Amino acid sequence: MSEKKSLIYSEMELDPQHEYFVHLYEVPLDDEEALREAVEAMQLNLYEMTEKAVQPQRASAQAARRKAENFAALCAVVDAPERAGWLEKDLLDAAAEQAVLSVRMQERLTRYIRARRRGAAPETAVWVSEKGNWRKFMAVLKDLPK
């Protein structure tokens, strides 16, 4: 059996941008006061995180609004008049200079670019860029008279 000399515990924090941070603390086992404070801190953290978990709709709505705003900003970068005629990869690179693109955001922006290239209005291209709507859009284009 090993001789443990300290206790390591974690504390989670949710910042205003709705990102979680995990803090690790080490407490010596022979310090009763420090152990008591660690237990109190763990209980308080559990209570705070439970309280925040009770309000997911507000956090989800804010995250969705922020995501929509970020996507609108990226669409503005792609639709800029000085970028007309640029290749798809170059447009994605220009957008990546403005924000960090996740794989999903890059895929969505690619669908947006392709829809705009096929003549879709910006609002329609935003709808098309959402997952699952590309096939519907292509089916409608296919059915249009040439």
pLDDT average per 10 residues of sequence, the chain (146 residues): 78 77 88 89 83 68 86 91 90 89 91 91 90 86 78
Q: Identify the pLDDT of residue 116.
A: 92
Q: 105: helix, coil or strand?
A: helix
Residue type, 113: I
Residue 79 has a pLDDT of: 92
Residue 1: the pLDDT is: 47
- Residue 83 vs residues 33, 115, 118, 124: alpha-carbon distances, Å: 63, 16, 16, 20
Amino acid symbol at 82:
E
In angstroms, the CA 120 to CA 55 distance is 38
Per-residue pLDDT, 55: 65
The pTM score is: 0.58
Q: Which of 15, 40, 10 is nearest to 26 (CA)?
A: 10
Tokens at residue 58, please?
A: 């507000």
